[in-house]
Structure 1
Amino acid sequence: MRVGVLGAGSIGAIVAEALRDGRVPGAELAGVVDPAPAVAGLPMCALPELLSTSDLVVECAGQRALAEAGAQVLSAGCDLLVVSVGALAADGLLEKLLAAGPGAVHLSTGAIGGLDLLRSAALLGPFERVVIETTKKASSLVQPWMSEAEADALRRTSSPVELRRGPAREITAAFPKSANVAASVALAVRNWDVVEAAVIADPAAPATSHVITAAGPAGQYRFEIRNRPSPRTPTSSRVVPYAVLSALEALASPRAVFR
């Protein structure tokens, strides 16, 4: 399977290097699209060239890039592995991508687990309540929409602060680099409206944590994930590129694979 990588920052560079070095069984690197890659020595190209040589394209370039280029990737006949799942909070984007084929859409699990169980439980009946609470280092949660005073207070806080709580769509839009997990949970339970999300800033947080609680006909669930942040990009978890590599390995060389 020839794999193109769209975006070579803290996530895409690790994915591209692993593909280039032959560390993903059954897959090889077709090329990389990024005007300023995080590492040197990658085979760079333009998007049209990438689409002509790839069987699958991994989107590692952020929500805007997915919205702008996703349909083009799929209509060219390439499959698409989405990392910026939060972009799918935008009304109609997922439907647009699914209709753009013939390429297929795959979603990366990114920084969390338990999505397979939530997805299975949702088939039995709708969840009554789903909550995801994300806690990160305060300095990594400063947003462009914050006033100077708000941003400064966030950087200086000495105790945990709940920045915002609300519907998953709202929180994903407000924290696009930090709340992809809320979108992933909403897609897994097949209902954006039932998912409540919260973002908490903690200056002393040793890791990024996601606590997911859910209740429905199949039972009650509680997952807690604690990820070390990426050393390159603290807004992302260190495990994310390896979740992408795991997905690529499963797609390229399926054996006994959990799905």
Structure 2
Amino acid sequence: MKVAILGCGAIGSVVAHAVRDGGVPGAELVGVVHAERDDPPGLPVLSIDAAIEQADLIVECAGQRALAELGPSIVASGTDLLVVSIGALADDALLASLRDTGPGRLHLCSGAIGGLDVLAATARMGGVSAVRIVTTKKAPTLVQRWMGEDVAQQLRTATEPVELMRGPAREITAAFPASANVAASVALAVGDWDLVEATVVADPNAPLTSHVITAEGSAGDYRFEIRNHPSAANPATSGVVPHAVLAAVGRLAAPTGAFA
């Protein structure tokens, strides 16, 4: 399976090097598409058109805006697309264009969390009545452009945990596009954006990034707690994310014996 990587930052660079070096059996790197001024050393660089022409699978690691701009043309060309920036799919029109038009297939990466398969099974069995996710990250990594300077400075100098926002998953995902993809993943797993209540907490002393997911439904009650080390290259994301991407690529390249 020929693979191109869209984006070569903290996530994409790890994925690209691993695929290039044979770390995913059955997958071959054809190149990376990136917007930075300088090309990444040691990696072949492609235009998006060349990537679409040469790759069987394009792995999006470039953020929500890039996915919205380039994703529809990728699947329309017949090339499969693996999405990391799940939060962009809060846009119903974008989700429909990626999922329903084809002929390329849309694949979603679980990223920094687990338990999505159980949530999806529970929703299918008889529905869920309540789903909550609380995401806690180091305070400075949650500063957003829409915040006033006074709020941003409070986060940079905070000494105690602060609940920044609570609301429906769609709202939280839009407000924290680099930090709340997990809320979008949970909403997509249960099939209901309005049911999922998401909370973002800024904790200056948090040694790990945590996601606590609770769900109640006819199949039972569930609680998942995930505590990830932040990425050394980009503390706004978790270090495990590129390896979740590689696992997803591996399942697509050689699916025999892998969890679906």
> Are 2:130 and 1:129 aligned?
yes
Instruction: State the partner residue of 1:151.
Output: 152
> Are 2:53 and 1:64 aligned?
no
Identity %: 60
Instruction: State the partner residue of 1:107.
Output: 108
Instruction: State the partner residue of 1:9.
Output: 9
Secondary structure of the 2:128 match is: coil
Instruction: State the partner residue of 1:75.
Output: 76
Q: Distance in 2 between matches of 1:236 and 1:19?
A: 21
Instruction: State the partner residue of 2:89.
Output: 88
Q: Distance in 2 between matches of 1:255 and 1:226?
A: 30
Instruction: State the partner residue of 1:18.
Output: 18
Q: Distance in 2 between matches of 1:39 and 1:131?
A: 39
Q: Distance in 2 between matches of 1:90 and 1:71?
A: 13
Q: Which runs of 5+ in 2 are unaligned?
A: none
Confirm or deny: 8 A CA contact 2:39 2:45 kept in the other structure: no
Confirm or deny: 8 A CA contact 1:209 1:226 kept in the other structure: yes
TM-score normalised per structure 1: 0.98
Deviations 1:173-232 (A, max 9, x none): 000000000000000011111100000000000000000000011100000000000101
Secondary structure of the 1:92 match is: helix
Q: Distance in 2 between matches of 1:98 and 1:203?
A: 39
Q: Distance in 1 between matches of 2:92 and 2:61?
A: 21
Confirm or deny: 8 A CA contact 2:142 2:236 kept in the other structure: yes
Q: Distance in 2 between matches of 1:39 and 1:134?
A: 32
> Letter of the aligned partner of 1:99 in structure 2?
D
Q: Which runs of 5+ in 1 are unaligned?
A: none
TM-score normalised per structure 2: 0.98
Confirm or deny: 8 A CA contact 1:129 1:194 kept in the other structure: yes
Instruction: State the partner residue of 1:54.
Output: 55
Confirm or deny: 8 A CA contact 1:8 1:38 kept in the other structure: no
RMSD between aligned residues: 1.0
Q: CA deviation at 1:39?
A: 3.8
> Letter of the aligned partner of 2:231 in structure 1?
S
Secondary structure of the 2:145 match is: coil
Instruction: State the partner residue of 2:32.
Output: 32
Instruction: State the partner residue of 2:204.
Output: 203
